[in-house]
């Protein structure tokens, strides 16, 4: 559906850039091919973007302005209402806010507010990412038991990072929608500080 937003807003100087934190391009091929995007639709098997931006769950949305500055930080928002019953968020207000940003420059947060709503990496979360990187390499080498130790260590160091705790499940042969995930979910979904700044609601505009 980001392709639809791109078609609607592209001429206003907007580009969605999707980044999949999947272990294999083939895992997201069906979704990408169905969407047939003409915007960048990228695969990040090594979690480069997760580390650079300190992403702890998906989906995570970040607004970057024309000068390459973050003007709205990590927000767990959704482009559709497919899972609204699970997470309670409606996509329409967010998409309207996006339109208002692109068309009218609205909704940009001042630097102090952006900084105040960024989560901070810690020595533990950074060490977790190093263990994850080692686990990934070991897995690629076929050293499954050693990889498992480091995925688990990464999860211990960063229990609130679902890019590690849930993201590693498919690599480890665990269903990320199954029992282990439901157990993980009982700990509570990791939240970004942007939760306290709900997107301004409004009547959903018809796409022009």
- Per-residue x/- track, 173-192, other proteins (CB under 8 A): ---xx---------------
Q: What are phi and psi of 43, to 5 degrees?
A: -120, 130
Give yes or no for a cis peptide into 59 (omega within 30° of 0).
Answer: yes
Nearest-approach distance from CB 63 to other proteins, in angstroms: 6
Q: Is 46 in the site for other proteins (CB under 8 A)?
A: yes
CA distances from 110 to 114, 117, 119, 197 (A): 6, 11, 16, 13
Stretch touching other proteins by CB under 8 A, among 43-51, 85-93, 182-190, 191-199: 43-51
Q: Which of residues 125-144 bind other proteins (CB under 8 A)?
A: 125-127, 129-131, 133-134, 137-138, 143
CA atoms 111, 112, 118, 121: torsion sign = positive
Q: Is 68 in the site for other proteins (CB under 8 A)?
A: yes
Calculate the CA 174 to chain-centre distance. Answer: 20
Among 3, 8, 62, 190, interactor with other proteins by CB under 8 A: 62
Q: Is 21 in the site for other proteins (CB under 8 A)?
A: yes
Q: Which of residues 108-127 bind other proteins (CB under 8 A)?
A: 111, 114-115, 118, 120-123, 125-127
Q: Where on the phi/psi map is residue 76: left (φ > 0), alpha (ψ -120 to 50), or beta?
A: beta
């Amino acid at each position: 559906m980001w392709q639809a937003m791109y078609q609607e807003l592209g001429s206003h100087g907007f580009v969605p850039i999707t980044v999949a934190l999947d272990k294999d391009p083939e895992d997201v091929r069906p979704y990408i091919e169905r969407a047939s995007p003409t915007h960048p639709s990228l695969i990040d098997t090594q979690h480069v973007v997760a580390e650079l931006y300190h992403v702890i769950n998906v989906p995570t949305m970040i607004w970057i302005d024309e000068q390459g500055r973050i003007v709205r930080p990590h927000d767990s928002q959704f482009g559709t209402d497919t899972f609204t019953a699970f997470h309670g968020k409606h996509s329409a207000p967010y998409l309207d806010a996006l339109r208002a940003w692109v068309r009218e420059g609205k909704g940009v947060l001042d630097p102090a507010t952006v900084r105040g709503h960024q989560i901070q990496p810690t020595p533990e979360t950074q060490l977790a990412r190093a263990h994850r990187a080692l686990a990934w390499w070991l897995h690629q080498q076929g050293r499954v038991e050693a990889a498992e130790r480091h995925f688990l260590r990464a999860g211990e160091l960063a229990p609130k990072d679902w890019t590690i705790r849930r993201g590693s499940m498919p690599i480890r042969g665990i269903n990320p929608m199954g029992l282990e995930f439901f157990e993980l979910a009982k700990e509570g979904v990791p939240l970004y500080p942007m939760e306290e700044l709900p997107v301004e609601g409004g009547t959903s505009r018809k796409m022009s």
